[in-house]
Structure 1
Amino acid sequence: MGVFQTLMKKKELIPLAVIMTVAAGGALSFAVYSLRKTDVIFDRKGNPEPWETVDPSVPQKLITINQQWKPIEELQKVRGATK
């Protein structure tokens, strides 16, 4: 007996099936969205310092409110001294 046959016999399960399908789809789409972001890395050996390639002008959060990026002088001096 298939899923659709069960849903046609017990119609009260249709809203539950719809809600579960939408929830699973949302979870899957957020997982794919998170994997495409620049702060997620899979290859640590190919790029040992991935934080150097992150563009500071692109927000890394899902929602960013009034964020302005300014370089920190001390960090720029340390970065210049180590390279």
Structure 2
Amino acid sequence: MIFRAAVDHAKKYPGLIPQFLFIVLGMGGASLYLIRLAKGPHVTWNKTNNPEPWNKLDPTYQYKFVAVTTDYKSLKKDGPEF
């Protein structure tokens, strides 16, 4: 129903087509980014098997989206081993 109304508006006003495309691209990109965040190693979906998954991460694990100046291979682990 909403899609049909958008198509009718696009036929009547062709200048709206880029706006519809940018809205769809923005919503798609936001959805993919949320999915990426939900699949991260620091997110717990099942607390019975692994309640603290961040303890199993290696100190060289790059969890940032982009790390420009940090050399993760030369880092030493500061905390205790669990």
Asked if TM exceeds 0.5, the reply is yes
Larger radius of gyration: 1
Using structure 1 for the length normalisation, give the TM-score: 0.74
Instruction: Assess if the C-alpha contact under 8 Å between 2:10 and 2:16 holds in 1.
Output: yes
Q: Amino acid of the residue matched to residue 10 of structure 1?
A: Y
Q: Deviations over 1:9-57 (max 9, x none)?
A: 1112112101101100110110111122111111122212212222322
In 1, distance between residues paired with 2:18 and 2:31?
A: 20
**Number of paired residues?**
76
Write the mapping of 1:1-83 to structure 2, written as runs, cut at 5 A.
2=4, 3-67=6-70, 68=72, 69-72=75-78, 75-76=79-80, 79=81
For structure 1, the residue ranges without an aligned partner over 5 or more in a row are none
For structure 2, the residue ranges without an aligned partner over 5 or more in a row are none
Percent of aligned pairs with the same amino acid: 24
Using structure 2 for the length normalisation, give the TM-score: 0.75
CA RMSD of aligned residues (A): 1.9
